[in-house]
Amino acid sequence: MTALYGLTIHELHEKLKNREITSRELVESVYKRIQETDSKIGAYLTLTQELALAQSEAADKKFAKGLDIHPLTGIPLAIKDNLCVTGIKTTCASKILENFVSVYNATAIEKLGVVEYVLLGKTNMDEFAMGSSTENSAFTITKNPWNLRCIPGGSSGGSAAAVAADECIAALGSDTGGSIRQPAACCGVVGLKPTYGRVSRYGLVAFASSLDQIGPITKDVRDCALMMNVISGHDPLDSTSADMAVVDFTQSLGQSIEGLKIGIPKEFFIEGMDPEVEGCVREAIRMMEKLGAKTQEISLPHTEYAVATYYILATAEASANLARYDGVRYGYRTKASKDLLEMYMRTRAEGFGSEVKRRIMLGTYALSSGYYDAYYLKAQRVRTLIKQDFDEAFKSSTSGGVDVIVVPTAPTPAFGIGEKTQDPLQMYLSDIFTISVNLAGIPAIALPCGFSNAGLPIGMQVLGRPFQEETILRVAYAYEQATEWYKRKPNLS
């Protein structure tokens, strides 16, 4: 029999509802798993066991009354450490926020609190979400549960590794250029980046405000839909939050994909891509055709400019957003300075890691006088062209458009720890298939579609029209249920 920690949200909800188990038993099962495995993986930065047990007992009182309960009530979740939770450290895996304790909840956390979730702890990440490998954390390197010598992806590597290793039932991550989807692919789990504005960013520590989105990382597609049901919705505290009605995302699961048009962009199947990745994704496309979907080759002609565009815009926004960490109001402050200016400079030099410094300098340069028009303004124009490519591809089906687009998530399976740390450009290219989605603001879900000969997971993405998460969930669920990939688990014994 599968241990409680190995089950999904929907499986555990049935057991809790039928009083076969208690939430406390479930939480104790997951903490036992964390105790057994996290010394190998390093998924967590902070554990909140005392709080979790108190929350589970409160949930059990609801179950005992036989009330109609939410699918996430009493379910233990992990939260990426750039989401604010009242009274809990929020470090962003950075020395500069090492002892910062949040005084408020992010809106996504507030919404989870309403349905009485259980907080297991905060997960490791690349510092300030800047990275693709979770090697940029100031505190520890998270390892891939499928191969401890490999990276788990980034920046939400701690959340993805925790889900894959059954160290939580599901998790929240954030995605600025692929930071939910790429680690989900590396760890063989499901990750969804919602449409920009679908989920409130209030309480998410900002990296690049026009690109950041909070989303779920789960063991299967149904759990992803259940998480989206809770965290989505308009929030007056976030001026970029879309005033859109929240549908029940589980309603589309199980619907046939017969007749759906799937676009296959030629720009995403490129030279230099791992042949095992291409083979698995093309086999997945053939499976979708067997399920009745129609496929057609499409073009997204400005894709080749996406990496350059992203690393100008994201770094420019990071330069502005991270200016607040100056040693004055909160966070780390240097102990050695003779005046205010030196205090600012030393605090930031000592508090930020090398990748964060690199991006701040890139962004400051792109925004500086004389270069603003040449870099930042031009990148904004190219971003518009990238979005227009997707608009053209997704125009109504009756006028030749497609319903969804299917592409690889990453050009290779998970690479070795330390393999790309000396070559930032190679590291940046890990996001080549994910960043266009953030630039265009559209939704995308990553899910497993095979394994390499070395036994590492391979992922694909399903991309959709803005605010059409139910369509990508429908396609992902149909494929998932027709295959066995999502049932595989890493061997951590």
Q: What is the pLDDT of residues 7-54, one digit of tens each?
A: 999 999 999 999 999 999 999 999 999 999 999 999 999 999 999 999
pLDDT value of position 399: 67
- Whether 80 sits among the annotated catalytic residues: the reply is yes
Choose, from 155, 156, 232, 319, the residue flagged as catalytic: 155
Tokens for 114, please give them: 């309403």
Amino acid identity of residue 274, one-letter, is: D
pLDDT of 306 > 70? The answer is yes
207-248 pLDDT tens trace: 999 999 999 999 999 999 999 999 999 999 999 999 998 999
Tokens for 488, please give them: 């595989």
Tokens for 163, please give them: 């889900």
Choose, from 174, 179, 200, 232, the residue flagged as catalytic: 179
Domain tally for the chain? 2
Tokens for 383, please give them: 């971003």
Kindly give the pairing relationship between strand 213-218 and strand 170-175. antiparallel
- State the Cα–Cα distance between residues 77 and 366, nearest whole angstrom: 39
DSSP state of 248: -
Among candidate residues 464, 398, 483, 450, the one with its CA nearest the CA of residue 263:
464
Rounded average pLDDT over 175-197: 98
Establish if 453 belongs to a structural domain: no
Q: How far is CA 488 from CA 103, 165, 484, in A?
A: 40, 11, 7
Count the neighbouring beta carbons within 10 Å of the beta carbon of residue 282. 15
Amino acid identity of residue 242, one-letter, is: A
With a CB cutoff of 8 Å and minimum separation 6, the contacts of 418 are 135
Q: Is the bond preceding 29 in cis, omega lying within 30 degrees of 0?
A: no
* Same structural domain, 176 and 314: no
Tokens for 440, please give them: 């265009």
* Same structural domain, 48 and 118: yes
Please give the mean pLDDT across all residues of the chain: 96
Tokens for 315, please give them: 């770094």
Indicate the Cα dihedral angle 123, 79, 444, 315, nearest 10°.
Answer: -60
With a CB cutoff of 8 Å and minimum separation 6, the contacts of 396 are none
Amino acid identity of residue 236, one-letter, is: P
* Same structural domain, 219 and 357: no
With a CB cutoff of 8 Å and minimum separation 6, the contacts of 369 are none
- List the Cα angle 458/464/467 in 5-degree steps: 130
pLDDT value of position 425: 79
- State the Cα–Cα distance between residues 374 and 376, nearest whole angstrom: 7
* Same structural domain, 133 and 237: yes
* Same structural domain, 241 and 368: no
* Same structural domain, 251 and 309: no
- Check which CATH number belongs to the domain holding 24 and give it: 3.90.1300.10
Longest dimension (CA), the chain: 71
Q: Which of 222, 256, 290 is the last residue of a domain?
A: 256
Q: What is the DSSP string of 158-170?
A: HHHHHHHTTSSSE
pLDDT value of position 398: 61
- SS3 label, residue 204: strand
Rounded average pLDDT over 375-384: 97
Establish if 182 belongs to a structural domain: yes
With a CB cutoff of 8 Å and minimum separation 6, the contacts of 465 are 394, 403, 442, 471
Number of helices (H) and strands (E), helices first, in the chain? 15, 11
Would you say 83 and 157 are in contact if contact means Cβ atoms under 8 Å apart? no
Choose, from 80, 143, 193, 420, the residue flagged as catalytic: 80
* 62-66, 90-94, 183-187, 314-318, range with the lowest pLDDT: 62-66
Would you say 433 and 410 are in contact if contact means Cβ atoms under 8 Å apart? yes
* Same structural domain, 214 and 316: no
Establish if 455 belongs to a structural domain: no
Q: Which of 378, 401, 417 is the last residue of a domain?
A: 378
Among candidate residues 35, 115, 36, 113, the one with its CA nearest the CA of residue 79:
113
* Same structural domain, 123 and 37: yes
Q: Which of 349, 378, 407 is the last residue of a domain?
A: 378
4-14 pLDDT tens trace: 999 999 999 99
């061997």: which residue's tokens?
491
Establish if 139 belongs to a structural domain: yes
Domain with 316, as residue range(s), is: 304-378
* Same structural domain, 20 and 135: yes
Establish if 27 belongs to a structural domain: yes
* Same structural domain, 200 and 332: no
* Same structural domain, 252 and 322: no
Rounded average pLDDT over 400-420: 95
pLDDT value of position 429: 82
Establish if 104 belongs to a structural domain: yes
Establish if 489 belongs to a structural domain: no
* Same structural domain, 319 and 248: no
pLDDT value of position 427: 86
Tokens for 389, please give them: 């490519």
Tokens for 127, please give them: 């510092």
Establish if 170 belongs to a structural domain: yes
